């Protein structure tokens, strides 16, 4: 899966935030990460971090949290901690709100207004353009506003066009003094080899089930989320676990259960239509389809793992079990979405093969 399937909810949250004033955002401390992140934070505080870091990991697992914390470690003026930023000063608050003048962000369009306001950069819902890269490079050619360092953060770097990636090579090779690039990717294999060879990879680790459970209970005290189901499906991704409690994802999960509980009686075209019913914007249709495919994969894995637990450690998957072929079908469908094939057509073709197994 390439483009972030959580974008829809994030954009909705951003719109709500604009409509209703809230307290200033604060940085979130990354949870459950190991010595690799700690080592990077120590380097960042001393401004000796490798000039280009690729932050990779599954969707919703906390890559943005890690990137912002690393950014703050580079720019925070506090000298109280050599293992991380203070998290509360004016610099850290501006980084949390994406308002720091020395932090430049390349990202996909957040909503239609964002796309329209940046049409000169060819900002879209699908691709980070070469125009965006060149604009950021021009900004980086100027002196830092506050002097400590400059940061280029590339969200959804795996959605950069080949032309954008090639243009970025110049900055990767010659970033300039105290200039750091942080690239985020859920599908790092989509980056060009020339980009891969110039970055150091930092993998965001999945959380332990106990950590996910604790955070869900802390953030959703009303108990509106099916806790065992969320933990079983999210595979260590707190963001995805929390998203599973939304009305949209509950509906999609119900459709996933329809597909898996009675595949022989499945009506692929009708079910594909239900997935995207009522959604008019093309990019939202694509994101809805990605969410459905992610849930489909997660539920397949959960059922497969549950069978393995019921048996012993030597559980032999029967040749009649469709788990592997079904997972491959959903991955192939994601690749078809990358090619901009209509989402309803992609889902119907995928589900048709489910019903034929």
pLDDT of residue 167: 96
Domain ranges, ordered by start, for the chain = 7-203, 246-356
Beta strand residue intervals within the chain, DSSP E: 52-56, 103-106, 150-154, 179-185, 200-203
Question: So what's the pLDDT on residue 166?
Answer: 96
pLDDT for the residue 222: 64
pTM reported for the whole predicted model: 0.82
DSSP 59-113: TTSSHHHHHHHHHHHHH----S-SSS--SSSHHHHHHHTT--TTEEEE----SHH
Cα 80 to Cα 21: distance, rounded to the nearest angstrom: 32
Tell me what pLDDT residue 356 has.
64
Architecture of the domain made up of 7-203: 3-Layer(aba) Sandwich (3.40)
**pLDDT of 16:** 39
pLDDT at position 7:
44
Separation of alpha carbons 46 and 82, rounded Å: 8
Helix (H, G, I), strand (E, B) or coil at 183: strand
Parts of the chain with a pLDDT under 50: 1-21, 319-320
Q: Tokens representing 45? A: 């505080």
Rounded Cα–Cα distance for residues 156 and 184 (Å)? 6
Query: What integer pLDDT is reported at residue 1 of this predicted model?
Result: 37
């Amino acid at each position: 899966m390439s483009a972030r399937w959580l974008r829809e909810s994030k954009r909705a949250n951003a719109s709500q935030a604009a409509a209703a004033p809230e307290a200033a955002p604060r940085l979130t401390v990354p949870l459950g990460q190991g010595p690799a992140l700690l080592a990077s934070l120590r380097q960042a505080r001393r401004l000796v971090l490798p000039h280009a870091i690729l932050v990779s990991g599954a969707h919703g697992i906390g890559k943005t949290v890690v990137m912002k914390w690393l950014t703050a470690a580079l720019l925070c003026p506090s000298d109280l901690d050599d293992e991380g930023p203070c998290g509360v000063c004016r610099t850290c608050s501006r980084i949390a709100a994406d308002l720091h003048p020395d932090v430049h962000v390349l990202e996909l369009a957040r909503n239609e207004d964002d796309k329209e306001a940046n049409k000169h950069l060819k900002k879209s819902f699908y691709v980070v353009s070469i125009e965006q890269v060149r604009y950021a490079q021009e900004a980086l050619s100027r002196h830092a506003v506050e002097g400590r360092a400059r940061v280029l953060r590339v969200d959804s770097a795996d959605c950069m066009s080949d032309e954008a990636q090639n243009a970025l090579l110049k900055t990767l090779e010659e970033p300039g003094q105290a200039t750091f690039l942080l690239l985020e990717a859920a599908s790092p294999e989509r980056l060009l080899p020339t980009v891969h060879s110039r970055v150091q990879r930092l993998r965001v680790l999945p959380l332990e089930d106990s950590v996910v459970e604790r955070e869900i209970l802390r953030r959703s005290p009303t108990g509106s989320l099916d806790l065992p189901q969320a933990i079983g499906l999210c595979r260590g991704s707190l963001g995805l676990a929390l998203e599973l409690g939304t009305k949209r994802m509950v509906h999609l999960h119900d459709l996933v259960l329809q597909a898996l509980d009675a595949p022989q009686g499945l009506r692929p075209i009708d079910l594909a239509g239900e997935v995207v019913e009522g959604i008019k914007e093309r990019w939202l249709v694509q994101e809805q389809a990605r969410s459905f495919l992610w849930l489909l994969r997660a539920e397949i894995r959960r059922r497969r793992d549950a069978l393995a637990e019921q048996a012993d450690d030597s559980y032999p998957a029967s040749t009649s079990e469709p788990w592997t072929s079904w997972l491959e079908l959903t991955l192939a469908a994601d690749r078809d979405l990358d090619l901009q094939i209509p989402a309803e057509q992609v889902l119907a073709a995928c589900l048709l093969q489910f019903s034929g197994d």
